[in-house]
Amino acid sequence: NETIWTFLKKCFERGKIYQGHDVMPWSGRGGSAYSQMEIAEGRKLTTHKSVFVRFPIIRESGERKVESGASQTADDRLSALGSPPSQEYLLVWTTTPWTLTSNVACAVNPDLDYIKIQTKRDNAIYYFAKDNLNFQRLSTEFKDGFGRPEWKWPEGVPKLKTLAQIFKEQGGFEELGTLKGGEMVGWKYDGPFDELAAQQMDGGCPVDESNLGKCGKSWHKVIDGGRDSRGSANVVAGEGTGIVHMAPGCGDIDHKIGASVGMPVIAPLKDDGTYSEEFGEFAGLEAISPKTAELVFEKLKAKGMLVAVETYPHIYPHCWRTGDELVFRLVDEWFINMDWRDEIKDVTRQIRWLPDSIDGQEREIDWLTNMSDWMISKKRFWGLALPIWVNEEDPSDFEVIGSLAELKERSVEGWGDFEGNTPHRPWIDGVIIESQTPGKEGQRMRRIPDVGNPWLDAGIVPFSTMGYNTNREEWQKWYPADLVTECFPGQFRNWFYSMLSLSTMMRYDEADNAEDKKPFRTLLGHRLVTNEQGKPMHKSDGTAIWFEEAAEQLGVDTMRWMYLAQNPAQDLRFGTRHGDKPVTLQTPDGPIDKTLEGVATCTVTSGPADETRRQILIPLWNCYKFFVDYAIADGFVPSDELRWRAAGSSQESGKRKAESGVAEIDRWILSNLQSLIEVAHCEMSNYNAPAFCAAAAQFIDDLSNWYIRRNRRRFWRSRDASDADKNAAYETLYEVLVTLCRLLAPGIPFLTERMYQNLALGQGFSDEGFQFSDSRSNTESGDSVTAENRKPKTENTLPCSVHLCDYPTVDTSLLDADLNLRMAAAQKVVRLGHKLREESNLRVRQPLAELQFASSSADTASAIEKLADVIGEELNIQRVMRADNLDTLVKYAYKPNLKTLGPKYGKLLNALRTKLPELGDAVLGPLRRGQNLTVELEGQTVDLTPNDVLVSTEQAAEWVCADDAGIQVAISTVLTPELIREGMSRDFVRQVQQLRKDANLNITDRIKVEYHSQDNTVQAMVAEWGDYIKGETLAEKIEFSSTPGVERKTVSVGESSAVIWIVTLS
């Protein structure tokens, strides 16, 4: 990509490109190094054989160091037996045994306390960090895992032992004393593999002329581990021994520390990840092979240096291409010096990072603060050819070419063979240029064989895709992008970082401020999609869900809603693939039993998908089905004006005119719809799809469980063309459904399209009977409605798809905020009432006598009072009464929550215990209503939140009470015989309705109900409530029979039993 050449040229002109000699993560099979930003995503939980090793301490003369002071008596006894005196050792631990072949030094923390112990088995003396002796190694991880749901402690791996346990199991030990780590600096020791040629090579392995006169074997000593860029010690107590084995050819931190103290480097690995010939028996062995570790242990044991081996679980980097473990290898690579990171930070601060809860800006700035220089080269053939040409006579003389035009101008050889090909290998490699460096003019320069890091390609997107190099004026129209969205756990280090870096550099000489350099305005990050157990899904183990499986079994609209409604800051636990349950999928193209990739299709289940269907799709479809069923039965045909308006036509008649006399509940649902449209525009423009989905879910619930349920009787009334109220209900529900289709179409495109085709265009689905059939007529009005009349007269005007409709906009004439608040208050009372019924085991079908309510807000109380009849109907309560307060029915007691108040007001705890309860509900009531409060106790101000108090209630007999956000509700639980019989009638209706459903009757079919019961209460109930039962069940008659019918059903009616059956009347 030539635009990347432009970026690298700008880096070169600012002196940021250099060739580095460093230890980098390396894949032997992949044959390439990995940058710091790349390895993060390949981190996996794995186990290694870790090892505790002892390095013998030696005197300055070269003899092994023998303790002369402590435990002299033991030494004397050993000498008398012909045994050597006590040998002293450094205790070292590593999870990568292969690196011990390349040990050069040991690092300590000079400020730490180090303990000296003597073992009873062989009288050996060991030095290691004092805090490590009894340290419970990985105890948290053993209990809770390693930070991700899938990173549990591996099965079969025992809990790690403390050093004290290890030494006790080997015969016990004695503590001899302590010393500071600084006292150990400079101690010499014998290395574990000093016999290897690599350890004895002058200048290290491979030879570095700057280190001539040094070799690994002669350099073994204890050094100060120093501190990192943040000022934190590199060597700490805890895991390990507090003495770090240093192999500067096998570790990046080791290499940096080694370079700072002039340590020779022993680099053991070749390109393929195997040992070179200087490593004796290890030559040709793969570093990551378990056989290599076993050979290390075998050699250490033979030398008396092996202390203990264990299976150690930890997070370790793996190659994302091959899946192999990475090793750290000394390499020559090309880097960008990132000392201009503060410029990138300034650009980062100009961007809006969403969602707020993930602290995206802080994450990115933290990464920029701590990242190392960017390795941009790869030892591969395919990929972006890095435009770096190096002098054949002086490798320190190099240039970066910024464009093909510049390369053509500078070329002295090979351009003719290259021209017409893309700037990739092998064609680009033949182009030769000449140096222009003073004193080296005319010397030939060849391109390096390396290709570029793929994140260069990803980061240049804001420039390359919009023609930055070819059409700058057009590019300016599109830069910066409005939105970038990606998975955030890793992309802060990868794509986001690369785009920010490249844009900052590309614009450094074009823009004067950070605002004009940003590559995008808003970033929306999201977490991962996992299975239902929170574990990653992989093709390799069969847990990955294929699109065909999810689409056909869960539903595509279901999937889209799941993604849109999910909080992006949390993992989406999508579903579970049952690999042992193959299934044939019925697709639009016919049955399949394999995916396009040839994988056998299997059963997929998903709790979140089930919830989406249950809470969103099924209720929405049921609202639609309710309307269509009744519209067909009543012959309702929406007018042209209504079609235009609902479909969002741009015609003048497309706006609803203010109407007087509209039922309040119709005005409410239309107002609520406008509120939802307002939320859609606000939240979607802010990239907050979950907030819109939550509001839409609430609206669908209100539509289904409030508007339609409360209006059923308006639709049930017999057909009468002059029934304006009934027609208004149809028109309102029609307008709401069509508008809702347009509003939800981006989220659930298929369901809304199906509904729109039928509702707006009359294109129904005959197999389901949801179309406006030609058999409809308005016979009761005497008018014949022909098929021609019934066809949409606007079919050339209305969009042929919901996805071609204009997105709804708010009709302010329909928006009534006060009405919305009134109805919301009534709904809150109803929710509290249902909660009390459930807690008291009082089913809704059982009528109750009275509900009393009170509110801290007079306006709210008035709003509830106006809707008292609605509340009574919803809760099946005969009287809904307003009260100034419910003090005679419920009392509240308050206690301090010492768990929350203790840390804040420890010195006031006694006063809080005694004085706070005395303040009572008159003062503390706002806390019960979810508000914060400030009080004064013993002359001190105390800020209280609702979580700071524990509230208990004392209720009057035969009443139950609840409150929420300033609204109190109390319900009488007294059941009179009259109330009981009324409740029985509701049960009876429900059972008859179930029989109608079981018999697949249409909503217009008339029936006769017969029943039998030996309980006189049932007969008394029917005598009292018979007319009600007939009206609710479309029954012409209800009769007692001493002989039960054939298709009878025994049911519970209140506390009584009855047998009922129905007969369809022709």
Tell me: the pLDDT tens digits for 739-787?
999 999 999 999 999 999 999 998 865 444 444 433 333 323 333 333 3
133-168 burial, b at 16+ Cβ within 10 Å, e below that, comes to bebebbeebeeeebebeebebeeeeeebeebbebbe
Q: What is the pLDDT of residue 85?
A: 60
Residues 362 and 476 grouped into a single domain: yes
pLDDT band at 249 (very low <50, low <70, confident <90, very high): very high
Residue 788, domain member (yes or no): yes
Q: What is the pLDDT of residue 722?
A: 67
* 599 three-state secondary structure: coil
How large is the average pLDDT for residues 28-44? 80
What is the CATH number for 502?
3.40.50.620
The CA distance from 404 to 419, in Å, is 10
Residue that finishes a domain, picked among 815, 840, 873: 815
The CA distance from 975 to 847, in Å, is 8
Residues 459 and 438 grouped into a single domain: yes
Residue 828, domain member (yes or no): no
Q: Which residue has the tokens 């989905």?
A: 693
Q: Tell me, what DSSP letter sits at residue 540?
A: T
Phi, psi of 256 (to 5 degrees): -65, -45
Flag whether pLDDT at 877 surpasses 60. Answer: yes
Tell me the pLDDT tens digit for each residue of 532-545.
998 889 888 899 99
Give the highest mean pLDDT range of 19-23, 387-391, 789-793.
387-391
Residue 1013, domain member (yes or no): yes
Residue 965, domain member (yes or no): no
Flag whether pLDDT at 552 surpasses 90. Answer: yes
In the chain, the percentage of residues whose pLDDT exceeds 90 is 69
Q: What is the pLDDT of residue 782?
A: 32
Pair type for strands 374-375 and 327-336: antiparallel
Q: What's the Cα-to-Cα distance from 695 to each of 289, 558, 676, 808, rounded to whole Å? A: 56, 17, 7, 15
Residue that finishes a domain, picked among 573, 588, 605: 605
Residues 803 and 751 grouped into a single domain: yes
User: Of all residues in the chain, what percent are helix, strand and coil, respectively (each to 5)?
Assistant: 40, 25, 35
Residue 868, domain member (yes or no): no
How large is the average pLDDT for residues 882-900? 86
Q: What is the pLDDT of residue 894?
A: 87
Burial of 492 (0-12, 13-18, 19+ CB in 10 A): buried
Residues 805 and 659 grouped into a single domain: yes
Q: Which amino acid is at 166?
A: I
* 222 three-state secondary structure: strand
Pick the closest to residue 568 from 513, 525, 620, 531 (CA basis).
525
Give the highest mean pLDDT range of 1-5, 382-386, 614-618.
614-618
When mean pLDDT is compared across 606-610, 798-802, 949-953, the lowest value belongs to 949-953
Q: Is 847 left (phi over 0), alpha (psi -120 to 50) or beta?
A: beta
Q: What is the pLDDT of residue 769?
A: 43
What is the CATH number for 763?
1.10.730.10
Q: What is the pLDDT of residue 857?
A: 87
Q: What is the pLDDT of residue 65?
A: 57
- Domain with 1043 in it: 977-1064
Residue 200, domain member (yes or no): yes
Cα R_g (the chain), whole angstroms: 40
Flag whether pLDDT at 556 surpasses 60. Answer: yes
Residues 479 and 361 grouped into a single domain: yes
pLDDT band at 719 (very low <50, low <70, confident <90, very high): low
Which tokens go with 287?
A: 């570093």
Q: What's the Cα-to-Cα distance from 680 to each of 560, 613, 677, 688, rounded to whole Å? A: 16, 21, 5, 9
The CA distance from 207 to 615, in Å, is 70
Residues 544 and 627 grouped into a single domain: no
Flag whether pLDDT at 814 surpasses 60. Answer: yes
Residues 313 and 358 grouped into a single domain: no
> Mind giving me the DSSP string for 354-402?
ESGGG-HHHHHHHHHHH---EE-EES-SSS-B--EEEESS-TT-EEE--
Q: What is the pLDDT of residue 62?
A: 52
What is the CATH number for 1007?
3.30.2320
The CA distance from 818 to 823, in Å, is 9
What is the CATH number for 155?
3.90.740.10
Q: What is the pLDDT of residue 32?
A: 83
180's CB contacts (< 8 A; 6+ apart) are 110, 111, 112, 113, 114
Q: What is the pLDDT of residue 788?
A: 40
Which tokens go with 1030?
A: 């007939």
Q: What is the pTM of this model?
A: 0.76
Residue 48, domain member (yes or no): yes
- Cβ distance 158 to 313 under 8 Å? no
Q: What is the pLDDT of residue 76?
A: 43
Q: What is the pLDDT of residue 1014?
A: 87
In the chain, the percentage of residues whose pLDDT exceeds 70 is 93
How large is the average pLDDT for residues 173-200? 96
- Cβ distance 333 to 273 under 8 Å? no
Pair type for strands 327-336 and 17-27: antiparallel
Residue 157, domain member (yes or no): yes
Tell me the pLDDT tens digit for each residue of 598-633.
999 999 999 999 999 999 999 999 999 999 999 998
Q: Tell me, what DSSP letter sits at residue 654?
A: G
Residues 582 and 641 grouped into a single domain: no
Pick the closest to residue 37 from 601, 668, 611, 495 (CA basis).
495
Q: Residue 891: count other Cβ atoms within 10 Å of its Cβ.
A: 15
pLDDT band at 721 (very low <50, low <70, confident <90, very high): low
Residues 909 and 987 grouped into a single domain: no
Q: Tell me, what DSSP letter sits at residue 539?
A: T
Q: What is the pLDDT of residue 407?
A: 96
- Tell me which of 657 and 721 has the higher pLDDT: 721
Flag whether pLDDT at 22 surpasses 90. Answer: no
Flag whether pLDDT at 793 surpasses 70. Answer: no
Number of domains in the chain: 6
Residues 178 and 324 grouped into a single domain: yes
pLDDT band at 183 (very low <50, low <70, confident <90, very high): very high
Residue that finishes a domain, picked among 526, 560, 583: 526
Q: What is the pLDDT of residue 913?
A: 85
